[in-house]
Chain A
Amino acid sequence: MKSNVERLIAEKLQREVAAKTRRHFIKQCATGMGGLALGSIFMGCDPLRPQQAGTGTQNGFTERDLNPLATLPPPFSPRVKNVIYLHMAGAPSQLEMFDYKPELAKLNDQACPQSFLEGKKFAFIRGTPKLLGPQATFKQEGESGNWVSDNLPHFKKVVDEVAFLKAVHTDQFNHGPAQLFMHTGSPRLGRPSIGSWVTYGLGSENQNLPGFVVLTSGGKAPSAGKSVWGSGFLPSVYQGVQCRSKGDPVLYIEDPEGISRDLKKNTIKAINEINKKEYAKYADPEILARINQYEMAYRMQIAVPEVMNINNEPDHIKEMYGVEPGKESFANNCLLARKLVEDGVRFVQLFDWGWDAHGTDPSTAVDLGLKNKCREIDRPMTALLLDLKQRGLLEDTLVVWGGEFGRTPMQENREGKTMGFKGRDHHGDAFTMWMAGGGIKKGASHGTTDSIGFAGVDGRVSVHDVHATILHLLGFNHEQFTYDFQGRPFRLTDVEGEIIREILA
């Protein structure tokens, strides 16, 4: 009986399929395809929404069609045109650099009160850890009287140029997600980084250089990998171009062996000739864009190695930064950052690895290894600010310094055991960042933390707030700067972010 029913159903299906001719199929396709096309014609759910950036037309297609890095004016009057973002990967300890907590010194070695630990997650701390007093001496510096530790003796000289954010907070406590959050506005993969947003929104003025350059130092790339300078759902042309400070600045930029510059030139000429003929035939702007890309790549082969060469800099500049030619160093990268910004590169991202001061060995102890890391960045970042200032570039450039989170006021007790070296665990409730440059209130300090530096009590700002402020200085309203993806507009600041006006001039 059952098999009869099954046979009947099978026969019915068979008949149905047999009754459908190719014509039926094509006829049905027409409605389906039409529907799909309708979706894109009407721009998703909102037919009135203005189209993506750069769609003012000229001769039928836009400048952006031809050159994705063509400049676009920002919606509002910008205060800066370039950004240099210094990221201390691994998270620097604010308690040994900028956030002075004398109260914490008094409580050194005492058990951390339970009220701080309840409901909190830590990467490595287990049970009840002990508080760890500041492992550096602090003084108030400059006219602003902002606190800086003795770990940064050079930086003290420029303390009046910067504005501190003392109570930044993040909700991530592991490096990868926290770095992603800090640079893309989301702890999960897939969003564009700040530099990508900015190059997408503004383009790049220098025709021979990428608009978004990334430099790394400290021996390792950031834990989150290259996604922290990725373009996410934006066209990949807006992703950061990682330049190495050792060897070829960009991999495969040199001509292969046996291929001379002339031969390369002729090859590109020939390809472009063919492409131009194709364009004459089909008038597809994609072809023009491709012609442009070939030409730009060719120009970059000369321009990139030139700008990435610090040997031609005068000695007094090299000494100021403390560069180590031929090596991979934060100092070299700071000097390169200045050179790149001077040449009109829109966004320069510096990652310096090695700040994860857990205290598992001397190199990660807050009273040993951290001091070395501080020394490595102290001179270069101070030199960078002074060099930008003396060239009149600082007023057009925003310099941002920070990590992906901060560190605990408690000494780390991995697996609940007392450790041999003094270290601190990951901590996102309160950490310090600073900004300097155009539009920033010099010598400002916004936000305060509680007496042991565990959490912000006043002037707390989120990662989204930092992003909103960066975009504001570049002339964007972070709530209106969107890109349509998967049927809805996306923002760098998601649905949050408030401009931190307290640090704006």
Chain B
Amino acid sequence: MDILKQLLGRLHPLVVHLPIGFIIAGLLLQFVDRKKKEFTKVISLIYLWGAYVAVLACITGYLQYLGEGYSFNSVKIHLWSGIATALCCFILWARLATVSFAAMLQKIPVLVISGLLFVLISFTGHQGGNITHGEDYLVEPLPNTLKAALGYPVFEEKEIVLSETDWESAVFYTDVIAPILNNNCVSCHNPKKAKGELLLHSEESILTSGENGPVLTAHHPEKSDLFLRMELPKSNDRHMPPDGKRQPSKEAIKLVETWIAKGHPFTTTIGELKLPKSLFAPYFPKSEVMDYPPTEIAAAATDSIHYVKNFGLHVAPISERTNYLKVSALNLPTFTNADAPYLNAIAPQIALLDLGGTQITDDICTALAKLPNLTRVQLDHTQLTGSQLEQLKSLQYLKSINLSYTNFKEEYLSVLTEFKALEKVVLFNPEHHKTGTEYMNHGKTAVEYGNYTLPVISSDSIVY
């Protein structure tokens, strides 16, 4: 008997579609027949059938509630509105079929009952859907802004904030593991969704929930499903998060493994656990190496860019993300000091400039000093001696200067110590005697003299 009850209960999601179908068919027929009133008998019969199957749906629904362990509170509204729908369906049948025992119904306009039935069937259906699919089923695909406007909770990404100085004082669970779980797992494993009956949103639930028992075994990541499932290859069906969903990084999985291996502590700091820095280094803020100043700049006018391009210089943005430009005289070896005014129109945007192999002389520095955002400049294979380099002192972003194969005079090197941002100077010249890399400005600026050689060694001539 119990089996039958459960089986019937499980048929509820199927049976409910019958009253929906009949009622919608009845409503549509009423609309089609609104003038001629030829089908009233058929329509009333459809509503009678609708009422019968609505009762059946109510019974199976009640059995499902008993058999599947729903709390009464969660199904209450759906249950009562379902019964109301069945009742309303009977009333509409009685009104249309002009049944003798319900004569008083004839005073109510048909349209009112039909309208009520339509509202009831829609409402009940929606409530039922909410029970099986979750309340946010329809809202979930909406963009976050719209969800927030409708008053639904929004999935918030938690960032792992660690730094070079305070990483040891961070609490391992709260500051590292919780954000990893939140960003990769919690959207399915939360009190509302609870896939696999696993909840990963709070400390207690992580330890206790899960349909196959707890997912953590202290000190044994190799016995903990939480880690094992993430570690599996993506092609494996048991891999979590499922293929297609956001995946935790290799570093994050390693951290989860470490956390379990350390006995999944919730309050201990990283420093107390004596964990190596390398585990957390990927989360330290990175100072991105860029070839242009950190400030934003307005785009150069298209006309100006064309003007410079048509002259023969190569001009292009450094990347799609910035308006700073790279300008190169690669295809214009005839470029001279006198051509420098061509750069004026795009002067604020130039961050990379390659004038290597051109006819420029020391006086070009006057023009270069007018490029406030110049970050890297190549002046190699030219006649420069460095006598005017002093003028570039004002360029606060200038990071590297290439002066290889020039007539650079060592006496001007001291000028470069006053350059604030300078990291690299290339002075390679086969006619010089210096070799290798030297450092100045307290190690901040590397001076590359090059002139590397690979002396002949005995093995060079041994043929096996």
A interface residues with partner B (beta carbon < 8 Å): 71-79, 150, 153-154, 157, 205-208, 314, 316, 319-320, 322, 343-344, 362, 367-369, 371-372, 375, 379, 382-383, 386-387, 389-392, 395, 439, 475, 498, 501, 505
Contacts and interface: CB of A to CB of B under 8 A. Distances in A.
Given A75-B320, A154-B454, A206 B331 contact: yes
Nearest to B251: A501
A82 B450 CA distance: 21
Contact of A390 (B424, B450, B454): B450
B448 A344 contact: no
A75 B430 contact: no
B447 to A, nearest CB: 11
Interface string B316-330: 111111100000101
B454 A372 contact: no
A74 B326 CA distance: 12
Given A205-B330, A391-B450, A77 B462 contact: no
B290 interface: yes
A407 B320 CA distance: 42
A154 B291 CA distance: 33
Interface residues of B, number: 40
What are the nearest 6 A-B pairs in CB distance? Answer: A390-B450, A392-B426, A386-B452, A73-B317, A390-B428, A368-B464
A78 B319 contact: yes
B349 interface: no
Nearest to A70: B316
11 contacts: A73-B316, A73-B320, A77-B291, A206-B331, A314-B430, A320-B454, A344-B328, A368-B464, A387-B452, A392-B404, A395-B424
A92 to B, nearest CB: 15
Given A73-B317, A77-B321, A392-B400, 8 more contacts: A75-B319, A320-B453, A369-B464, A379-B460, A382-B454, A390-B404, A390-B426, A391-B402
Contacts of A153: 457, 459
B378 interface: yes
B250 interface: yes
Interface string B419-449: 0000010101010000000000000000011
Contacts of B290: 77
Contacts of B316: 71-73
A55 to B, nearest CB: 13
Nearest to A73: B317
B380 A392 contact: yes
A379 to B, nearest CB: 6
A392 B378 CA distance: 9
B184 interface: no
Given A206-B331, A320-B452, A389-B452, A74 B319 contact: yes
A460 B64 CA distance: 51
A383 B454 contact: yes
A391 B405 CA distance: 9
B289 interface: yes
Q: By DSSP majority rule, is chain B's interface helix, strand, loop, or mixed?
A: loop
Contacts of A75: 319-321
B4 interface: no
B402 A392 contact: yes
Nearest to A317: B430
Contacts of A157: 454
A320 B428 CA distance: 15
B404 A76 contact: no
A386 B464 CA distance: 27
B314 interface: yes
Nearest to B405: A391
Contacts of B450: 386, 389-391
A206 B330 contact: yes
Nearest to B403: A392
B2 interface: no
A343 B454 contact: no
A77 B452 contact: no
Nearest to B330: A344
A277 to B, nearest CB: 23
B328 A475 contact: no
B282 interface: yes
Nearest to A379: B454
B333 to A, nearest CB: 11
Contacts of B292: 77
B289 A505 contact: yes
A207 B331 contact: yes
A322 B456 CA distance: 10
B288 interface: yes
Interface in B49-85: none
A72 B317 CA distance: 8
A343 B333 CA distance: 12
A418 to B, nearest CB: 21
Contact of A375 (B317, B404, B460): B460
A329 to B, nearest CB: 14
Nearest to B331: A207
A386 B288 contact: no
Given A73-B320, A153-B459, A392 B448 contact: yes
B205 interface: no
